[in-house]
Amino acid sequence: MAWTQAEEDRIKTLETVINSLQTAVANLMSKMQMRQLIMIKQAQVDELTRRVETLERLVQIIEQHLL
């Protein structure tokens, strides 16, 4: 028994969606990669925070000397 055109179109659509999902899943980061990226980003945030705090202290020192 042959499939109708509607059934064939539905199967093709499902295959396309499945292929897209497979590609998306294959491109996902692993949990370990995500943890490593978060650790790197947190280290960058910590470094920037430290630099801002240093700059704030320097501004305070400069302001004290100007007054």
Q: Which two tokens stand for residue 1?
A: 């028994």
Q: How would you write the chain as a 3-class SS string?
A: CCCCHHHHHHHHHHHHHHHHHHHHHHCCCCHHHHHHHHHHHHHHHHHHHHHHHHHHHHHHHHHHHHC
| pLDDT class of 5 with cuts at 50, 70, 90 | very high
Q: Does pTM surpass 0.75?
A: no
d(CA 25, CA 37): 18
Q: Where are the domains of the chain?
A: 5-66
> In the Cβ-directed half-sphere of 37, how many Cα atoms lie within 13 Å?
6
| pLDDT class of 28 with cuts at 50, 70, 90 | confident
Residue 14 has a pLDDT of 97
The mean per-residue pLDDT over the stretch 15-21 comes to 96
The mean per-residue pLDDT over the stretch 53-67 comes to 95
